[in-house]
Structure 1
Amino acid sequence: MTDETGQAQALPAELTGVGIGPGVAQGPVARMADPLPAPEDVASALSVDDETARAREGVAAVAGELNARAEQVGGTAAEVLEAQAMMAEDPSLQEQIDAGIAQGKTAERAVFEAFATFQETLTAMGGYLGERAADLADIAQRVIAHLRGVPAPGVPDPGHPFILVARDLAPADTALLDLTQVLALVTTAGGPTSHTAILAREKSIVAVVGAAGADRLADGQTVIVDAAAGIVTTGPTAHQLADAQQRADDRAAAASAPLAAGALADGTAVPLLANLGKPGDAAAAIALGAEGVGLFRTEFLFLSATEAPTVAEQQAAYEQLLAGFAGKKVVVRALDAGADKPLSFLGDAHEENPALGRRGLRALRANEQILRDQLTALAQADAATTARGEGAELWVMAPMVATVEETEYFTAFARECGIRVPGVMVEVPALALLADRVLAATDFASIGTNDLTQYTMAADRVLGSVASYQSPWHPAVLRLVADVGFAGRTLGKPVGICGEAAADPLLAVVLVGLGATSLSMAPAALADVRASLRAHTLDQAKSIAAAALAAGDAASARAAAVAAASPTRPA
């Protein structure tokens, strides 16, 4: 990069981005290879049939590779890879590829143009679908590489442990990272809910995403990646390197400590729960110390279906989940789809701004039979597992609730269907502002900090260009959490946190100080949060929270919390 005079600009001492988790790592940089160049737009020397066969074979081969990788990794990574494989073989894409070949284009060029067109469409839609646009680019690269008989661009292998620097990482690359070699991830693109961020959390990889200027880091250059601070130190001193190593060692020691229930230093219990997306993830979460489930996403049953699953199909999955957490609390979120995660059986009307459209409870209420079937399946699974002596404490919450009337509707409807403990997610600021009336009308609230931050800050949670606004540390977001926490204490109702904010060890202390009674997160974050809570009493947590609330912006709030938590050390 050069300045206005054409002179090379010095690389800043620190690059800032969005840190994923609390980890810190150091090592030499290895940069991801640049994408393959676009195929030339030249006439094919082969027949239309031959080019069509080549294109279809290439797409099928890549889809098969993605599915094979999915089988190797499991968890969220597998879901992402399976979704990519489905995208690769989308009939609409194939039709557009065929049309390009029929015009005389090569298979490579037809694939490039078809995927680019679909990518532009998804990007324009924004939200969840906009974030998936990058997946299409990766699939196209892989198909074109296969057609050319060359390796697809991927993770480098310098022969030693390294800090991986890339514009962004494709799910297929992230899912199979060799964690004995990749010390940390740094990307110039992506936000806190990008695939890189999601999979970094799941695998407990140190990562900073959306770090402007990281593309200027050189291969072999030693850097420190501080996810807790969201900073990449480009020219670290010996003292900084030693401090980073000590922090990494301390974190490793905490992770290997014996498992214990979540609690503050004074014994105040703070249950630490897991955010999960499939029943089969139960055993791994419990092994990492999960005391139950604070957010079970039911979308896995719906997103790949052309029609809503039956009550019996859903009940079988829910029974597996409840049996896996027998005797523990399990909080299930009703289907959170529609608008940015469209389902044909929920309505397919295009919306200009899907993040503000008909999603969550809004979509379910317009398709009440789907909601009734889901709640009935959950109630029947609860009864069946309880009868077998392997039941869990089932709570069910509605997503995207905005009013007291919606709260009353869902609570009554859920009880009618046999749900014993209904509640609502607080993701819309309006609901937080009326928390006293909301909690008077239902049994519990769970704060989804990802969406609450998005709507409070008017910043799309998947848009890298506004990632700096997407911080749950912002005092405006914390004040809304405090309002819900106060209402919960006053009315004696539980208030959980199930957004990514709960996975930040210091922010977890702040959230408890604001009134949160439980915290739910990716299982990989449990050890760090457990150790952080045990370092503070409830009174100290309240003081740290008060310091953060008094700040004027997210960075100042975090700095104030650091100072309040460690008064003898500078922030």
Structure 2
Amino acid sequence: MTTTSAADAPAGTGLRGVGVGRRAVVGPVAQVRPAPDVAPDAPLLVDGAPATPAHVRTVVERAFADVAAGLRTQAEGASGTVRDVLAATAQMADDAALRGQVLTRVDGGEPPVAAIDGVVDTFAAMFEQAGGYLAERVTDLRSVRDRVVARVVGLPEPGVPHLAQPSVVVARDLAPADTAALDLTKVLAIVTELGGPTGHTAIIAGQLGLPCVVRVDGATTLADGTVVAVDAAAGTVTPDPDDAVRDAFERRRAADAALAQDTGPGATADGHAVALLANIGTAADAQRVGAGAEGVGLFRTEVLFLERTQAPTVDEQTDAYAAALRAVDGRKVVVRTLDAGADKPLAFATQPDEENPALGVRGYRLVRSHAELLDTQLAALARAQEATGSTPWVMAPMIATPDEARDFAARARAAGVATVGVMVEVPAAALRARDLLAEVDFVSIGTNDLAQYTMATDRLRGELADLLDVWQPAVLDLVATTARAGLEAGKPVGVCGESAADPLMALVLVGLGVTSLSMAAGALPAVRYAVRHHTRATCEAIAGAVLRARTAADARAAALALVDPDVAATLAL
């Protein structure tokens, strides 16, 4: 998934936002049904008379149960990240505390809509104050509220209408449950007024291969049926596009299809190898890694742990890891150990009283209080390694010091893991990358979190997306420092954050000395093409020019000025 700042959108192209991906499509607008407009104090009527509190209680209980059941059914029919998000939203609808507080208010005589709104508002305020993952879950919470209220008052559930033809789905904000329920044969793109490039909707859109533009002011004013041109690469939505725009989009579609035919190993024009890998979250995702990927550069194992009341057993984990290793048939697999806490809390491990979870006990730091989680995971990875004959590269997230790197390496090797690395996600790790590499076999840069911590900006806050631009010079300085340390140590340095999926940024990373790039599978063809059409020396010249830039916009412009014009035109850079 590649993100593009609204500032990069050319003038005169209509509505602007933050693009996710690089595809472009033209199609009619289909507005998502809004939340039911019901007065909070409206009583529930039975035969024209206000219902009794007992009857209201029954209706509200049934509404919550039906919404939860419907979401679970959708989850069972989905897979990967979509399934997990739907299951999480269903669990929210089934939350005993949420439902219990609503019923307590109803029992006290409060109108049902007012009771639901009051409790949801309280929970939403708590989530927003907590920040990180919980703040992102507010969209899911509001979606549950809207679905329950609709059922209580007998209105159709809000969401995506039946699509009679392939359409561009437009919404103020699209809940993951709505995204996951889309009929992919009828959806061309997703456009929202809210959200951010790393939110649930954007992530699911990326997984589904749909172009997406978020934070588009005025999107919900577009009338149903209005034909729009959605350009994810530029972050624009253009009503009533002319033939020139349509022709340009068709040329890009044909070019993208041609690029996808090339599944050869990643390398520069003069043969310098750069491994091109895919990011996955489950063993099922591994089965979908095609020939265009040289393996897996990021296996997010926390998907196995999320939304559970207790950790998966060593046998459960062994089976999952072995399945992923077998699925890629001997190709490289980089496994990230449990990255929980902050935006991915665990019911059985996360500390509930952290004032700032993103700066608290997350990732590898869980070993301080729950060492058994890591030890069990490492044992399972070692068993999977033995069972399959494939050697996973195993790395720990949120490493901040050489001592932590040394301790993790010792634990992993004692468990029988053969190849050990760490993530570089905080400035401290980047600045001391030389010392970290003295303890491990490789490092991988998570540019999403590295940008978040460098710029002191929550990466889930869409309105701050400009500060998280992949071209921010301060972040690139830290990437360069890490890559330089890898070159000096003769050890691999990969990038598995969203920067790797940007074809132009990929050239910079190669020029800095990064040895592998991991991304959503759909981004691989464009990145492969860009790398293959530039020599290593040209990539180094591009990287040098970028590091001399003062601003993010200047950095991108400096890179673009040195790129082969034909490549820039083909990829619409």
- After TM superposition, the score normalised by the length of structure 1 is 0.91
Q: Which amino acid aligns with 1:364?
A: V
Shift in CA distance, 261/153, structure 1 to aligned 2, threshold 3 Å: same
Aligned to 2:407: 409
Deviation, 1:429, is 1.1
Q: C-alpha deviations, 1:466-513, integer Å up to 9, x for none?
A: 122121121221221111111111111101111122122222222222
Alpha-carbon contact 2:378-2:417 (below 8 Å) kept:
yes
Cα distance 1:394–1:113, how it changes in 2: closer, same or farther (>3 A)? same
Q: Which residue of 2 aligns with 1:290?
A: 293
Could you say which residue in structure 1 is the equivalent of 2:47?
none
Given candidates 150, 153, 166, the residue that maps to 2:171 is: 166
Contact 2:36 2:155 (8 Å CA) reproduced: no
Structure 2 contact 382–417 (Cα < 8 Å) conserved: yes
- Could you say which residue in structure 1 is the equivalent of 2:536? 538
Listed as ranges, the gaps of 5+ residues in structure 1 are 1-10, 387-391
What CA deviation, in whole Å up to 9, does each residue of 1:251-285 have, x standing for no partner?
Answer: 13323x15322222323222222211111222211
User: Quick one: which of 337, 342, 356 aligns to 2:340?
Assistant: 337
Change beyond 3 A, Cα 1:103–1:408: same
Tell me the equivalent position of 2:354.
Answer: 351
Task: Determine if contact 1:55/1:108 at 8 Å carries over to the other structure.
Answer: no
Aligned with residue 307 of structure 1, among 305, 310, 327: 310
Residue 290 of structure 1, CA deviation: 2.5
Of the structure 1 ranges 45-54 and 154-163, higher mean CA displacement relative to structure 2 is found in 154-163
- In the TM superposition, 1:157-556 aligns within 5 A as 157=162, 159-234=164-239, 236-255=241-260, 257-285=261-289, 287=290, 289-386=292-389, 392-556=390-554
Secondary structure of 1:393's counterpart equals: coil
Cα 1:553–1:223 change in 2 (3 A) is farther
Q: Which whole-Å CA distance do the structure 1 matches of 2:495 and 2:29 have between them?
A: 36
1:140 is aligned to 2:138: no
Alignment partner for residue 125 of structure 1, among 130, 135, 144?
130
CA positional deviation for 1:42: 4.2
User: In structure 2, how many angstroms separate the alpha carbons of the residues matched to 1:527 and 1:328?
Assistant: 18
Give the Cα–Cα distance (whole angstroms) in 2 for the partners of residues 361 and 158 of structure 1: 45
Offset of 1:22 from its aligned partner? 1.6
- Aligned equivalents of 2:469, 2:291: Cα separation in 1: 26
Distance 1:13 1:467 in 2: 20
Q: Is the 8 Å Cα contact of residues 22 and 528 (structure 1) preserved in structure 2?
A: no
Other-structure match for 2:70? 65
Residues 20-31 of structure 1 correspond to what in structure 2 (within 5 A)?
Answer: 20-31=20-31
Residue from 46, 52, 75 that aligns with 1:47: 52
Structure 2 SS opposite 1:319: helix
Amino acid at match of 1:284: R
- How many aligned residue pairs are there? 554
Contact (CA 8 Å) 1:288, 1:526: kept in 2 or not?
no
The amino acid that maps onto 2:267 is: A
Q: Deviations over 1:202-253 (max 9, x none)?
A: 1111111122343444444444322223233457554344323322221133
Seen in structure 2, the aligned counterparts of structure 1 residues 155 and 345 have a Cα distance that, compared at 3 Å, is closer
Q: Verify the 8 A CA contact 1:365 1:371 in the aligned structure 2.
A: no
Cα contact 1:338–1:347 (8 A) shared by 2: yes
Describe the superposition over 1:50-69 as per-residue Cα deviations: whole angstroms up to 9, x where unpaired: 22221222112111211221
Counterpart Cα distance in 2 of 1:14 and 1:246 = 21
Q: With the length of structure 2 as denominator, give the TM-score of the two structures.
A: 0.91
Query: Which amino acid letter does the alignment assign opposite residue 198 of structure 2?
Result: T
Offset of residue 367 of structure 1:
1.8
Tell me, what secondary structure is at the counterpart of 2:77? helix
Letter in structure 1 aligned against 2:388: T
Q: Tell me the C-alpha RMSD between the 2 structures.
A: 2.3
Deviation of 1:180 after TM superposition, in Å, equals 3.8
CA contact (8 A) 1:204 1:525 kept: no
Contact 1:288 1:524 in 2 (8 A): no
Alpha carbons of structure 1 residues 298 and 488: separation in structure 2 relative to 1, 3 Å: same
Inter-partner Cα distance in structure 1 for 2:12 and 2:125: 33
Q: Displaced runs of 4+ in structure 1, greater than 6 A? A: 568-571
Superimposed CA distance per residue, residues 434-454 of structure 1 (whole angstroms, 9 cap, x where no aligned partner): 111211221100010110111
Task: Assess, with a 3 A threshold, how the Cα gap between structure 1 residues 163 and 547 changes in structure 2: closer, same or farther.
Answer: farther
Alpha-carbon distance in 2 for matches of 1:221, 1:438: 55
Gaps of 5+ in 2: 1-10, 45-49
Go from structure 1 to structure 2 and tell me whether the alpha carbon gap of 1:78 and 1:117 turns closer, same or farther (over 3 Å shift).
same
Quick one: distance in 1 between partners of 2:498 and 2:38?
Answer: 37
The residue aligned with 1:19 is 19
Equivalent-residue separation in structure 2 for 1:132 and 1:489 (angstroms): 41
- Equivalents in 1 of 2:69, 2:383: separation in Å? 37
Q: CA deviation at 1:426?
A: 0.5
Paired residues for 1:75-86 under 5 Å: 75-86=80-91
For 1:103 and 1:439, how far apart are their aligned partners in 2? 62
Provide the C-alpha distance between the structure 2 equivalents of 1:104 and 1:279, rounded to a whole number of angstroms: 49
Distance in 1 between the 2:453 and 2:402 partners? Answer: 18
State the AA in 1 paired with 2:84.
E
Same amino acid, percent of matched pairs:
50
Displacement of 1:117: 2.1
Q: Cα gap change, 1:288/1:233 in structure 2, threshold over 3 Å: closer, same or farther?
A: farther
